[in-house]
Structure 1
Amino acid sequence: MSLLAEDTGVADLGLRWKPGFHALGPAFLTDLRPTPLPDPYWVGRSEAVARDLGLPPDWHSSQATLAALTGSLPIVGTSPFATVYSGHQFGVWAGQLGDGRAIMIGETEGGLEVQLKGAGRTPYSRGGDGRAVLRSSIREFLCSEAMHGLGIPTTRALCVTGSDAQIYREEVESAAVVTRVAPSFVRFGHFEHFAANQREDELRALADYVIDRYYPECRTTDRFGGNAYAAFLEAVSERTAALLAQWQAVGFCHGVMNTDNMSILGLTIDYGPFQFLDGFDPRHICNHSDTNGRYAFNQQPNVAYWNLFCLAQALLPLIGDQEVAVAALESYKTVFPNEFEGRMRAKLGLAEAAEDDRPLIEGVLKLLAAGKVDYTIFWRRLSGFMADGNVEPVRDLFLDREGFDAWMLSFSERHASTDRALAAELMRRTNPKFVLRNHLGQQAIEASQQKDHSGVATLLAVLQTPFEEHPGADAYAGFPPDWASTIEISCSS
């Protein structure tokens, strides 16, 4: 049980901690303590993450736990720190960055890093206050768990705590802290930092740490003549390709794919101006700050490859041969399309590949784009058609009935010899009923700003199991209201 020791002023979460990233030393991080926030309160909690961490069932019953996860109490066995990294932002070298509002609590004995986002200034805050607002914290909390529910690699979120302390953004808002959890928060930008500063010893130490911890198979590979660093780059490239295929298949826009927002483990990280598509628009830009559309939905796969090229440049002093480094990126060009087609084939209920699958996939995406058809609802209704044979709910989504009918004929012919029940089950497990649409998040945020956090809990429950029907929750699966298109999400979100 979590408790507050009156004589020491610390909280004990009942977890055992190990050095982890902290053992790399002061060249990589700065030791510091979070800055307390007054009168914290619970906003949202993920019991699934609590179980993964090994917290007891009553972990949230203690005021000491609440204070500790808001940054107001030290946690027994931890040595908090912030890490330094650099990166390219919107395609431009930004120089030194770092954890400007994230403070690592430590790594649990089970191998999960715990981080407080919004817990105060660090040496890398670059003039910022190191805080996060309630609005953005709820969005990150919900989307972290929503992505996990969708089966997409992601950082997780244990909880959001709030405080009435005032934070100044475009307007005055209340403060909040997200407790984030991941096997590692190392980013492409960590490697870029030491490469840009010609600190090869630190670059090698970082690479060795990540390889030995997360990519040990690279030590014994025969790829690239046994070059472990090239094999590491290839493995990261392939994980990233698979991640991007999942994003594109589910209609997820990240919004700010800077190199410092790219996980070395191929996780979705740093939820800021994200959005799940409503009407399908391949050129959709979800980030109001992205005036040139660099991170538009259809640009994400290419941007990921560009970011991997930056990582390759950073690792070049270790790889030792530019041609080998470029070769290590090559598989991205096959892994991404293969993974994407596989995901889309499953969405169509096709368990096995056939030569005419690609035109079938491309054809439906063109139809969806031409009519700005709601992406999530289309796929869920198509799953329903496979189960009950009623095509009208799907057909009603399209103004171009002739185009839809022609595609539907090809789709039905492709399924002529398949077991419809098995195909329907595959589609139900692949096409979610629920995603975190912007307007749903906004409604939960507005209620929480009035101290009603029930909407966060209800939304979390459906998003954690988004493929289930959840009777009574159909309002969370309907079309977005007209006002949803007026929501603007920027980098400050």
Structure 2
Amino acid sequence: MPDDLVTTVQFDNRYQRELPGTYARVTPTPMKNPRWVAWNEPLARELNWPNPPDDDVLAAFSGHGQLEGTDPIAQKYAGHQFGTFNPDLGDGRGLLLGEWVDGQGQHWDFHLKGAGKTPFSRFGDGRAVLRSSIRELLASEALHGLGIPTTRALALVGSDEPVMRERLENGAMLLRVAKTHIRFGHFEWFAFSGQTDKLEQLLAFCLTHLFPDCKNTPDPAAALFDAVVTRTAHLIAHWMSTGFCHGVMNTDNMSIIGDTFDYGPYAFLDALQPGFICNHTDTGGRYAYNRQPDIAFWNLQCLAQALAGIADQGALRDSLSRFAEHYNARFLELMGARLGVLNVSEEDQSLIRDWMQLATDEAVDFHRPLRELAEMETSDWARLDDDYSDRSRFRRFRQALAERREQEPDTQTLALASNPVSILRTHHAQAVIDACEQGDDSLLHSYLAALQSPFEVRPEWQRWRAPPPASYHAHPLSCSS
């Protein structure tokens, strides 16, 4: 495969140009015998990407070639990992190739994961494996399909290069796309290492390119932080309302623009278990499903500390004090929509709490019952009574919900648009991974398409509606997931 330039004309390198001394230039390490596993054509169209997934593009996305106009770098940052500050972080297996500029002038980071060792790899090999790359592709497209802010994946390249994790696996590279890869940890690194000039340069970069509405305010740093608090609160409300558990909410995994970022041992809930833990290294349950709002707030406190030297501290505290208000309002709005309630009142909050408590006590699936309520006329809901051990309790709930939905028009339309048919399930993802590791990518393509259109009903996607069998037990996953 030729090690040459792939001709394009629409890349920029603002991060490299405007933030010198905050990264290391690194050339991707070629991966042996690369092959296409997946190409995200819907995303390619959104990006106005002109090149088909041919051999030249395969070369560029597997380390054998370079896209003209790119300037690969590994970014330096820090972060709080499981509550402990670690200054020795940075891109250890991924490289920011450059910023693709689409037809509307929007810049998109092209970030190649699994691109080899960098100065920040520490003891890692700089590689990614097919298993974890498939999981990130599926998860990022699943959340995007649900309307949840997230990074995305344009391409997945497999290989027969051996990579050791818990076992010997095949290596892979994933081309991740995001509006930015700047994390809370970037601010922490410059603040806590005393690099005030770099901190101010980073702030100026974010104000110019990511938060222009905050730039011409009396205290731009405080205004930016206020926007980050709001976006983060809304993001976590989306996670909680869809049963998504991230698993590793370290500050270096928190996007400054409120995107879901760095997929590792994530999981969507099957049964509603508030204390669900998806990361087997999280023995204390720090990142359990029901702790995600608290951890987001804690992480925002860390960001506020990093900004304390360049922003009014009283304004930072005021913004933090509004986190719960932002979170609760969005969570109630999203859960109300899942129940078919558009304008959530105080009385509706009790209805939402009743459902969450009933679902928890009954250990019912987080997704399927709500979809059934959406698909059926309220007059038919009595057919669901036998799905609950406490039939009278469910009967009281469904009767109260039916009465509430009579007060607004088009409630069934709202519920259908808020409860997915296809959801990302761990057992389905594992079936896809098993098939791909045997060289069969067809299941991946089918599941990916279903997750990209999660509210659409198609006969060929019927298998993706199924919850796990009763005998299935989802074990916590490792960070290498």
Common topology (TM > 0.5): yes
- After superposition, the C-alpha distances for 1:353-374 in whole angstroms (9 at most, x for unaligned) are 3231110000000000001100
CA contact (8 A) 1:378 1:397 kept: no
- Match 1:485 to one of 470, 473, 479: 473
Distance, in Å, in 2 between the alignment partners of 1:45 and 1:389 is 44
Q: The residue matched to 1:356 in structure 2 has which SS? A: helix
- Match 2:219 to one of 209, 227, 230: 227
Moved runs in structure 1, 4+ residues, more than 6 A?
none
- Match 2:82 to one of 67, 86, 90: 90
Give the counterpart letter for 2:30 in structure 1: P
Instruction: Map 1:300-315 onto structure 2 (within 5 A).
Output: 300-315=292-307
Where does residue 379 of structure 1 map in the other structure? Answer: 370
- What RMSD in Å do the two structures reach over aligned CA positions? 1.5
CA contact (8 A) 2:264 2:479 kept: yes
Give the counterpart letter for 2:393 in structure 1: G
- Match 1:16 to one of 1, 5, 10: 10
Give the counterpart letter for 2:89 in structure 1: L
Distance, in Å, in 2 between the alignment partners of 1:15 and 1:48 is 21
Distance, in Å, in 2 between the alignment partners of 1:250 and 1:180 is 23
Distance, in Å, in 1 between the alignment partners of 2:471 and 2:9 is 45
Where does residue 269 of structure 2 map in the other structure? Answer: 277
Shift of 1:487: 3.8
CA contact (8 A) 2:163 2:169 kept: yes
Q: The residue matched to 1:100 in structure 2 has which SS? A: coil
Q: The residue matched to 2:141 in structure 1 has which SS? A: helix
CA contact (8 A) 2:152 2:176 kept: yes
Which structure 2 residue ranges, 5 or more long, are not aligned? none
- Match 2:118 to one of 116, 122, 125: 122
Distance, in Å, in 1 between the alignment partners of 2:468 and 2:386 is 17
Q: The residue matched to 1:281 in structure 2 has which SS? A: coil
Distance, in Å, in 2 between the alignment partners of 1:189 and 1:25 is 15
Aligned-pair identity (%): 42
Where does residue 164 of structure 2 map in the other structure? Answer: 168
CA contact (8 A) 2:6 2:65 kept: no
Q: The residue matched to 1:96 in structure 2 has which SS? A: strand
Distance, in Å, in 1 between the alignment partners of 2:9 and 2:359 is 49
Q: Does 1:158 align with 2:158?
A: no
Where does residue 23 of structure 2 map in the other structure? Answer: 29
CA contact (8 A) 1:15 1:55 kept: no
Q: Does 1:39 align with 2:11?
A: no
Where does residue 340 of structure 1 map in the other structure? Answer: 331
Compared CA separation, residues 393 and 49, structure 1 to 2 (3 A)? farther
Compared CA separation, residues 109 and 473, structure 1 to 2 (3 A)? closer
CA contact (8 A) 1:155 1:180 kept: yes
Where does residue 430 of structure 2 map in the other structure? Answer: 442
Distance, in Å, in 2 between the alignment partners of 1:475 and 1:395 is 25
Distance, in Å, in 1 between the alignment partners of 2:173 and 2:9 is 20
CA contact (8 A) 1:13 1:59 kept: no
- Match 2:130 to one of 127, 134, 143: 134
Shift of 1:352: 1.7
CA contact (8 A) 1:15 1:54 kept: no
Where does residue 245 of structure 1 map in the other structure? Answer: 237
CA contact (8 A) 1:10 1:76 kept: no
Distance, in Å, in 2 between the alignment partners of 1:77 and 1:398 is 60
Aligned length: 477
Q: The residue matched to 2:346 in structure 1 has which SS? A: coil
Compared CA separation, residues 165 and 346, structure 1 to 2 (3 A)? same
Which structure 1 residue ranges, 5 or more long, are not aligned? none
Distance, in Å, in 2 between the alignment partners of 1:358 and 1:461 is 35
CA contact (8 A) 2:19 2:202 kept: no
- Match 1:195 to one of 170, 175, 191: 191
Where does residue 398 of structure 1 map in the other structure? Answer: 388
Distance, in Å, in 1 between the alignment partners of 2:373 and 2:290 is 23
Compared CA separation, residues 229 and 25, structure 1 to 2 (3 A)? closer
- Match 1:316 to one of 302, 308, 317: 308
CA contact (8 A) 1:13 1:55 kept: no
Give the counterpart letter for 1:185 in structure 2: H
Where does residue 428 of structure 1 map in the other structure? Answer: 416
CA contact (8 A) 1:11 1:65 kept: no
CA contact (8 A) 2:19 2:201 kept: no
Distance, in Å, in 1 between the alignment partners of 2:459 and 2:363 is 28
- Match 1:360 to one of 344, 351, 356: 351
Where does residue 200 of structure 2 map in the other structure? Answer: 204
Normalising by structure 2, we get a TM-score of 0.96
Q: The residue matched to 2:265 in structure 1 has which SS? A: coil
Q: Does 1:59 align with 2:52?
A: yes
Q: The residue matched to 1:473 in structure 2 has which SS? A: helix
CA contact (8 A) 1:86 1:189 kept: yes
Distance, in Å, in 2 between the alignment partners of 1:39 and 1:482 is 41
Where does residue 470 of structure 1 map in the other structure? Answer: 458
- After superposition, the C-alpha distances for 1:276-305 in whole angstroms (9 at most, x for unaligned) are 100011111111111100001000011001
Where does residue 182 of structure 1 map in the other structure? Answer: 178
- Match 2:60 to one of 53, 65, 68: 68
Shift of 1:402: 1.5
Q: The residue matched to 2:205 in structure 1 has which SS? A: helix
Where does residue 295 of structure 1 map in the other structure? Answer: 287
Distance, in Å, in 2 between the alignment partners of 1:240 and 1:456 is 30
CA contact (8 A) 1:11 1:73 kept: yes
- After superposition, the C-alpha distances for 1:32-82 in whole angstroms (9 at most, x for unaligned) are 1100011101111110111122223x611x212112101221221111001
Shift of 1:482: 4.3
Distance, in Å, in 2 between the alignment partners of 1:392 and 1:120 is 57
CA contact (8 A) 2:28 2:115 kept: yes
Shift of 1:22: 1.1
Give the counterpart letter for 1:348 in structure 2: L
CA contact (8 A) 2:141 2:152 kept: yes
CA contact (8 A) 1:13 1:65 kept: no
Distance, in Å, in 2 between the alignment partners of 1:40 and 1:83 is 25
Q: The residue matched to 2:256 in structure 1 has which SS? A: coil
Distance, in Å, in 2 between the alignment partners of 1:355 and 1:129 is 53
- After superposition, the C-alpha distances for 1:322-341 in whole angstroms (9 at most, x for unaligned) are 32221122221211000111
Give the counterpart letter for 2:157 in structure 1: T
CA contact (8 A) 2:136 2:264 kept: yes
Q: The residue matched to 1:317 in structure 2 has which SS? A: coil
- After superposition, the C-alpha distances for 1:457-489 in whole angstroms (9 at most, x for unaligned) are 000010000011122322111121246424441
Q: The residue matched to 1:173 in structure 2 has which SS? A: strand
Give the counterpart letter for 1:442 in structure 2: Q
